[in-house]
Amino acid sequence: MSKFKGKLVAVLAGGFSEEREISLRSGKNVQEALTTLGYSADLVDPVNSLDFSDYDVAFNVLHGLFGEDGTVQGLLEEQKIPYTGSGVASSLLCMNKVSSKFLFEKSGIPTAPFSVQIVGLSALPNGMSYPVVLKPMSEGSSVGVRIVDTDEELLEQSQALVQKYTTYLIEDYIEGVEVTVGIIQTPDTIALPVLELRPENRFYDYEAKYTPGMTTFVIPAEISDSETKKVQNLAVKTFDISGCSGLGRVDFIIHPEKGPFALEVNTVPGMTNTSDLPAQAAHQGMSFEALVESILDQASLKNRV
């Protein structure tokens, strides 16, 4: 029996980020699963209150800023409430794409060459060629991510990112197969089957992620056995060196000649009907309810701030 059976669960969803609506969809699914399993679970939106002291444990599905960057994790630590997913430091690290990429490079995990910018650009930095990818430093669900092909597009999109975010990332565009690897701890760290993403759009952007029919899931991914093993091992390594716990998802592009390149670690994966992690768990033979209960079972206090 789960250690949280009979306890009151706060399903944290909604929040303050641009992923609010997706988070609410995730939260509704998780709450329904917990209710089906016999738990007492409330959908709790931090917009209404930051006092979670009425609850015994928190199931965090707050995507993006506040929910994935260590903020809510710190609040839960202060209130001595166990919670799902990664702790303060690892959440902050993974949410910051620049810090993550520096860590990848230091740890020998392949990632696309990049630079950090604070001004709009009318031409590419030395050594780069089109196309390139522009990204906010700390957003999830591909919010604000753009692929640009010309100086004109570069200037327009980079100025827009500076205006909204101040700092942004520019990196080489890697042509290849988009895949993602879900990670769950049971408490052993397990890499789920590799999921190949075939979006209708140019890449797996916000629209492709959350609009039914916009992305075809191929599971297991149509890659070689050696590539499958390599990307799963890299996913576990990336998860571990980032200090993550509970669950996560690591995204990759597999170049046909150079192999996999890590894009980022998602510490609060979506739990919607179109989300990656539930699809991977289902292929592993795990129902959505079983996945939710497994995640809840690993809830704990991490930092004792």
Q: Which value, to the nearest 10 degrees, does the dihedral of the CA atoms of residues 91, 260, 195, 248 take?
A: -10
Active site residue 249: yes
Catalytic residue selected from 171, 270, 293, 294? 270
CA distance 132 to 158: 11
The answer to whether residue 49 is catalytic is no
* Residue 210 known to be catalytic: yes
From the list 210, 245, 275, 293, the catalytic residue is: 210
> What is the identity of the amino acid at 58?
A
List 60, 91, 141, 158, catalytic entry = 141
Query: Is position 266 annotated as part of the catalytic site?
Result: yes
Catalytic residue among 77, 139, 178, 264: 264
Q: Which of 23, 100, 249, 275 is catalytic?
A: 249
- The answer to whether 96 is a known catalytic residue is no
What residue type is assigned to position 55 of the chain? Y
List 19, 178, 227, 276, catalytic entry: 19
Contact between 214 and 205 (Cβ < 8 Å):
no
Q: Which residue has the tokens 């998780």?
A: 30
Active site residue 264: yes
Catalytic residue among 77, 205, 251, 293: 251
Is residue 251 among the annotated active site residues?
A: yes
Pairing mode, if any, of strands 146-148 and 132-136? Answer: antiparallel
Q: Which residue in 23, 158, 266, 294 is the catalytic one? A: 266
Q: 182: helix, coil or strand?
A: strand
* d(C-alpha 279, C-alpha 294), whole Å: 15
Cβ contact 150:158 at 8 Å: no
Please say if 141 is a catalytic residue: yes
- So which residues are the catalytic ones? 19, 141, 210, 249, 251, 264, 266, 270
